[in-house]
Chain A
Amino acid sequence: MKPNLTVNIGRLRLKNPVMVASGAFGYAQEFKGLLDLKKLGAIVTKTVTLKPRKGNPSPRTCETPSGLLNSIGLENPGVEAFLKEKLPFLKKLAVPIIMSIASEARTEEFLILARRLDKIREVAALELNISCPNMQGHKLISQDPKATYDLVKAVRKTTGKTIITKLSPNVTDIAKIALAAEKAGSDALSLVNTLTGMSIDVKTKRPRIATVTAGLSGPAIRPVAVRMVWEAYTKVKIPIIGMGGIMNAQDALEFFIAGATAVSLGTANFIEPRSSLQVIAGIKDYLAEHKIRDIGQLKGSLKR
């Protein structure tokens, strides 16, 4: 029996539910030759802004137990350079390209970006990154249900493309924010972005990351991410893309059982570039072994 792995995210149909997360896969060309990119369910690009962004000073990364702290600061070449220099490689892959976008000036830039990208056929969907913890001096839109609603609503009016809203785990009630995004017309949710963290070198008493605080990813945050997917799943109807510390199929399955429709791998790509393909294979094996015909049947199958 060959289990069905296809899933729908808004108007997007994915051949399998495993994608690679924003910022953890560059613009895919960096991974060329290290894995068969065509096998991925979808590719989410590094977040792109309207203007080029220089990013944060170094050190930008540091390792913590089972985790990674990063403060890249959304370094990117800006949307026009992305379209000219990065998209041509991506579109040759024939894998749905989900473009992650963010704004330095709240709503206005999101709208300009959404309008600009609405006409680009190769961009299969937009992921609204309203949850990057490394833009200094910005309160996160996704920390406030009203701000989340207003932003998603405004973008919804400007584009016919599938909208995925990426939320921050740095909140007290994720379900509230998830509901706000759903109500405003988001087609799906990405859960979660990095958890704000900090690490100190006790010898020098200096922070290990130049911006002091940074975003934590990797297995260290997985239990928090699984919990948040589950909490959101019990409240919203739109599909959830689960992520946070997925290293293998077992980890990914937790997210499906908690309520995810698809999963995304971030930090794992840095350690084992083929992790995502191993997850696809592992999910197939699990479904076959448990005689589950369709990955959809696994979604939210938590027993209590």
Chain B
Amino acid sequence: MRLNKTFQFITRIIENRKIKATYWRALLAAPQIASNALPGQFVQIWFGNNQEVFLRRPFSIHRVRGERLEILYQVLGSGTEAFSKKKPGGSLDIIGPLGSGFKLPAATRKIKPVIVAGGMGVAPLVFLAKKLAGIPKRVLIGAKTSGQILCEKEFKELDCDVKIATDDGSRGFKGYVSDLLKKELSDIGYQSVQIYACGPEPLLKKVAAISSKHNIPAQISLEEHMACGIGACLGCAINTHAGFQRVCKEGPVFDAKEIVW
């Protein structure tokens, strides 16, 4: 399961700014995490004494650049609001890397990765795409509308073949990214495909159905409310064919066929 060590430390904020709509990007000094994190792992960030934001909040490791860790986040409630108020030069208490990430293919195995990202789900997948360097990859990004498409540039810089789906058809394929996935698979065939997906639960459920129908392996990254993030509280349980498992420890990445929807 997890091989790397977990650290708790005070990280310095190097950058923290809005990229578009409600989406923000933070760059943190985190050599302990940057050197040993695996794609799909996450961190738990504490925003200080605040009676509205009591617990830490989980965020995926979006990118690792040298000794820096990048987080991509959406301002949703008081925790992420507090995050967006933090200024460069300030500091944050962080624990990570946590959880079990994506399983990377053995170098000798020829696979055709298809990466499926819905909304904020792009966050861990950019790091994954980086780790799959040298393998031709297809990336399908889904968003409500063209203004909310995230990380298209980052994926392209990593030599990914990027396709877009928007619910309103303002860019690319009109409809859900799961329907785009079906279309793409019928084009490229099902042989040797490996799906990696992250996004809202309805999307992951559809991806799991597609993977099961065509017998394609799929690794999906799930979310659940977390209290501790380190496997101690059993608060993040998800129902699998092997019983309840912890999203923060055995997950967040699961084999799609393990999940009981």
Binding site for B on A (CB under 8 A): 23-26, 30-31, 33-34, 46, 54-55, 57-68, 70, 72, 75, 218-219, 267, 269-274
Contacts and interface: CB of A to CB of B under 8 A. Distances in A.
A270 B233 contact: yes
B48 to A, nearest CB: 10
B227 A34 contact: no
Interface stretch (B157-165, B184-192, B237-245): B237-245
Contact of B244 (A54, A59, A272): A54
A301 to B, nearest CB: 27
Interface residues of B, number: 32
A61 B54 contact: no
- Closest 3 CB pairs between A and B? A26-B232, A61-B235, A270-B228
Contact of A31 (B225, B230, B243): B230
B231 interface: yes
Contact of B233 (A23, A33, A62, A64): A23
Interface in B158-211: none
B236 interface: yes
B224 interface: yes
B80 interface: no
B55 interface: yes
Contacts of A267: 227
Contact of A34 (B55, B95, B237): B95
B231 to A, nearest CB: 5
Given A26-B232, A60-B235, A270 B244 contact: no
B6 A34 contact: yes
Contacts of A57: 239
Contacts of A33: 5-7
8 contacts: A26-B232, A30-B230, A34-B230, A61-B235, A63-B55, A72-B233, A270-B229, A271-B55
B14 interface: no
Interface string B54-97: 11100000000000000000000000000000000000010100
Contacts of B46: 271-272
A23 B233 CA distance: 6
Contacts of B6: 33-34
B234 A31 contact: no
Main secondary structure of the interface of B (DSSP, over half): loop
Nearest to A248: B49
Contacts of A54: 243-244
B234 A72 contact: yes
Contact of A75 (B52, B224, B225, B237): B237
B58 to A, nearest CB: 12
Given A34-B8, A61-B226, A66-B51, 14 more contacts: A34-B95, A34-B230, A46-B234, A55-B244, A58-B225, A61-B225, A63-B55, A65-B52, A65-B54, A66-B54, A68-B55, A269-B228, A270-B229, A270-B233
Chain B CB within 10 A, most for which of A24, A70, A270, A272? A270
A64 B6 CA distance: 27
Chain B CB within 10 A, most for which of A31, A34, A271? A271
Given A34-B6, A270-B228, A58 B52 contact: no
Contacts of B93: 272
A75 B239 contact: no
Contacts of A31: 230, 232
A61 B5 contact: no
A58 B230 contact: no
B237 A55 contact: yes
Contacts of B229: 270
B52 A270 contact: no
Interface string B1-28: 0000111100000000000000000000
B233 A70 contact: yes
B83 to A, nearest CB: 15
A83 to B, nearest CB: 19
A33 B93 CA distance: 16
B250 to A, nearest CB: 13
Contacts of B56: 270-271
Contact of A26 (B7, B233, B237): B233
Nearest to A59: B225
A54 B242 CA distance: 11
A185 to B, nearest CB: 32
Contact of B54 (A23, A26, A271): A271
Contacts of B55: 63, 68, 270-271
A54 B244 CA distance: 7
Contacts of A273: 8, 95, 230
Nearest to A60: B235
A47 to B, nearest CB: 11
B94 to A, nearest CB: 12
A68 to B, nearest CB: 6
A46 B224 CA distance: 21
A218 to B, nearest CB: 6
A238 B7 CA distance: 40
Contacts of B224: 58-59
Nearest to B238: A58
